[in-house]
Amino acid sequence: MPSATTRLRELAWIADDADALRDALREDAGCLGAVLGLSADQLEKLATRDDVVDRFRQLVAGARRRQAAVRDGGRSQRALAAAERLVAGARWLDSGVELEPHVLLGDLLADATRPWLSLVVDGRDVVVSRSRLRRAAVALRPFGDVRAFADSQALRLRWRAGRGGLNFNSQAHHVHDDSLLLRVVIDRPVMQPVERVLPPVAGRKGWLADVLAEVVG
C-alpha cells in the first residue's frame, strides 16, 4: 500500500477532477488524514463540499510546508552538530587552523536554509558560499588525502600532497543578513600559566640548609 505522501502526489494528477477527487478522499480518508491534518470524518465531509478542489489544494500546500519545516529542522540540527565536531577536531598551527575535511565538506553543509558558511578564525570572519563548497565536495570525492586549512583571510583545500589546491577568499561583503550564515567560531586554545613548584629538600647539607630551615620553619 502506498504511503500517504505518495498517495498525495498521485492525487495531484486528478485534483482538477472534482468527482474523482471526492471518490479518492472517501476511499483513502484514514491514510490521508494524518498528512493533511484532518480526521477521516473531516475528509469525508470535505468530499461533499462544492469547493473540494480548492480546499484540497490548500490542505496539500499546508502539508508540504509542514514536511519541509521538519526536513529543514533535521538538516539544521545535523549542521549544528557538525559545527561542534569541527571545532572539537580543529588543530591549530602557526599560520592558522587545520580542519577535518570530512566534517567541513559533509554534514556542515546540510542546512540549505543558510547559504553561507562563516568560519571565525583569529577574530575575523571567513565567509564562503555553501554552494561553492558543495561543488568542491563533489569534485574532491575521488581524492583520499584532502586537507583543509583556515586562516583570517581564506579557507584553503589541498590534496595530492599539496599539488592540488583551492583557496576560498572571504566573501563577507556579499552577506547582509546574519540569519543566512552558519557561523562557526574557532578559538585558539588559551595557554594556561604553569605553576612552578620547587621540589622538597631531600636532606640538610651545610649551613645554608640550616638557615633556610629556620626561616621557613
What is the predicted pLDDT for the residue at 204? 47
What is the predicted pLDDT for the residue at 121? 93
Q: Tens digit of pLDDT per residue, the chain (217 long)? A: 456 667 667 676 666 778 888 888 888 777 777 777 778 788 888 888 888 888 888 888 887 877 777 677 778 888 999 999 999 999 999 889 999 999 999 999 998 888 999 999 988 999 999 999 999 999 999 999 999 999 999 999 999 988 999 999 999 888 888 888 999 999 887 765 555 555 555 554 554 445 444 545 4
What is the predicted pLDDT for the residue at 46? 84
Task: Classify the phi-psi angles of 130: left when phi > 0, otherwise alpha if psi is within -120 to 50, otherwise beta.
Answer: alpha
What is the predicted pLDDT for the residue at 211? 45
**Torsions phi, psi for 51 (to 5 deg):** -95, 35
What is the predicted pLDDT for the residue at 101? 96
pTM for the complete prediction? 0.61
C-alpha distances out from residue 193 to 122, 190, 196, 197, Å: 21, 9, 9, 13
What is the predicted pLDDT for the residue at 90? 94
What is the predicted pLDDT for the residue at 145? 94
What is the predicted pLDDT for the residue at 5? 65
Sign of CA dihedral 113, 129, 93, 160: positive
Q: Which of 108, 146, 151 is nearest to 130 (CA)?
A: 108
- 116-121 and 181-186 beta bridge pairing: parallel
Q: Which residue has the cell 519541509?
A: 68
Burial class (CB in 10 A: 0-12, 13-18, 19+), 46: buried
- 147-150 and 124-129 beta bridge pairing: unpaired
